[in-house]
Amino acid sequence: MNSGPSARRGPKPKPDTRDNLIRAGLQAIHADGFAATGIQGIVERADVPKGSFYNHFASKEAFGAEVLDAYSDLGLERLRAFLANSDLPPLARLGAYFDDRIKAFTAGGYARGCLLGNFSAEAADHSPLIREHLVQHWDAWTKALEGCLAEAQGQGAIDGRLAPASLARFILNSWEGALLRMRVEKTGSALIECKSMILETLLPSRRPS
Amino acid sequence: MNSGPSARRGPKPKPDTRDNLIRAGLQAIHADGFAATGIQGIVERADVPKGSFYNHFASKEAFGAEVLDAYSDLGLERLRAFLANSDLPPLARLGAYFDDRIKAFTAGGYARGCLLGNFSAEAADHSPLIREHLVQHWDAWTKALEGCLAEAQGQGAIDGRLAPASLARFILNSWEGALLRMRVEKTGSALIECKSMILETLLPSRRPS
DNA sequence: AAATAAAATATGACCGGTCGTCTTAAATTA
DNA sequence: TAATTTAAGACGACCGGTCATATTTTATTT
């Protein structure tokens, strides 16, 4: 039968060329933006001949989508790790995540922001492929947050009339907006204010009488 | 002494060449992003010879800063117009502004977003000049919003313990984040949710007992 | 008032460099 | 040998920016 994956032909691919390209591309695109990043710079960073790039990726656009995937997967894993920490009540986990990110962005000089937001601004309008990936990733991050909020609501830490799904979307969107402001001001204020506005004002809110 | 501005020499500049360039640049940069927009395309749209561009602008970066200024001035004027409408209570003015923007973005196919946000993502890290302009413009928009919120607070429509300055920053940042989400989803949902979360949940909130 | 110098703009060719992509040759295996 | 993949670099187009030159206007000198 031998119905397994058909054996490949051709020279052995250097096993980590592809990963090296993704890694180099992630660094470069995160630092400089998608449009401003050239294939040339990426292949040089990855120490890969320029022509080899298109053996692994159909286009710059497809490459960008994979870089985005890699970034999102990593970040989502971290988010989930924080939100799953059962040593803390749900909202404290969210607070800890915020604090961790604030610390990281502070260490990074308040630059670069979140690649999801960056791609959304730069590529969502022009690349249907990247846009589709963005939809999935934003949604996945939202879902992770939503789970935590639902848990908090179950414990009475959040007004029962607020829908966790809407809250999660709003919180994530607001955080991304705060990241834009942070990059402009080169200060952590926007992030700190975002955290406190959400955790101290929005979530504990009660409807007006 | 004749310390006045020394009279300029040289041929009268074609009076609207500069404005045409700004206008063409605004359209192009708003649609395609700063890095992805070339000088060539701009001068072609404005029907200006390429060499003339650098008679009016020191660099693409300086041009971008002026385009940003033009965009911000226009948008700020609109924001102020809505927030000054004394026929409505303060928060209703803000709601009307949101509705107007939602309508406009809907008509535009949920694309392009806000140039302040776009430049913040693309250029704030790399261009000190543009970053400085961004600081001013974000701040001006925030101040406009803050005035309206303070007025609302004076009328008791907002919890007295919330600082209008912080609220204004958070609201503007959140709106910019919602615009990112909008461009990904090609839906007005994020904007609608942002409006309602702010006007119905955040602002009327009372501290937990 | 006339002549000249200075300054700014108009214009398009042109610079080195980089862009994303494609073609071709080498390598490997069926 | 045929098929297939990789390595490698060539490719034309375009990038932001510069330059020389012509032109137009004003300031200064005579």
A11/chain B closest Cα distance in angstroms: 37
Q: Is A208 a member of any domain?
A: no
Look-up: residue for tokens 């040593």? Answer: A87
Indicate whether A6 pLDDT > 80.
no
Instruction: Give the domain range for residue B39.
Output: 14-57
Q: Are residues B76 and B147 in the same domain?
A: yes
Q: Are residues B82 and B36 in the same domain?
A: no
The CATH number covering residue B109 comes to 1.10.357.10
Could you say which of B5, B28, B57 is where a domain stops?
B57
Q: Are residues A146 and A196 in the same domain?
A: yes
Q: What is the pLDDT of residues A174-198, one digit of tens each?
A: 999 999 999 999 999 999 999 999 9
Contact between the CB of A10 and strand D at under 7 Å = yes
| Assigned token pair, B57 | 């602008």
How many angstroms separate the Cα of B92 from the Cα of each of B146, B148, B166, B178, B190?
Answer: 14, 10, 20, 20, 19
Which of A50-59, A187-196, B4-13 has the weakest average pLDDT?
A: B4-13
Which of A84-88, A98-102, B34-38 has the weakest average pLDDT?
A: B34-38
Q: Are residues B113 and B173 in the same domain?
A: yes
Minimum-distance nucleotide, CA of A11 to C1': C28
Residue A155: DSSP 8-state: T
Q: Are residues A139 and A45 in the same domain?
A: no
Residue A12: pLDDT band by 50, 70, 90 thresholds? low
What pLDDT is recorded for position A5? 36
Look-up: residue for tokens 């701040």? Answer: B139
Burial profile A17-47: b = 16 or more Cβ within 10 angstroms, e = fewer:
bbebbbbbbbbbbbebbbbbbebeebbeebe
B201 class by beta-carbon count within 10 Å (0-12 exposed, 13-18 middle, 19+ buried): buried
Q: Is B208 a member of any domain?
A: no
Residue A52: DSSP 8-state: G
Length reported for chain B:
209
Query: Across chain B, what does the average pLDDT equal?
Result: 92
- This model of the complex carries an ipTM of 0.91
Separation in Å: D16 C1' and B77 CA:
33
Q: Tell me if chain B has a CB within 8 Å of the CB of A206.
A: yes
Q: For chain B, what is the domain count?
A: 2
Per-residue pLDDT averaged across B157-161, rounded? 94
What pLDDT is recorded for position B9? 61
Residue ranges in B84-108 assigned as alpha helix (H)? 90-107
Q: Are residues B41 and B92 in the same domain?
A: no
**Amino acid letter, A128:** P
Give CA–CA dist A204/B161, Å, rounded. 14
Q: Are residues A88 and A190 in the same domain?
A: yes
What pLDDT is recorded for position B4? 33
Residue A209: pLDDT band by 50, 70, 90 thresholds? very low
Q: What is the pLDDT of residues B70-99, one digit of tens each?
A: 999 999 999 999 999 999 999 999 999 999
Q: Are residues A37 and A95 in the same domain?
A: no
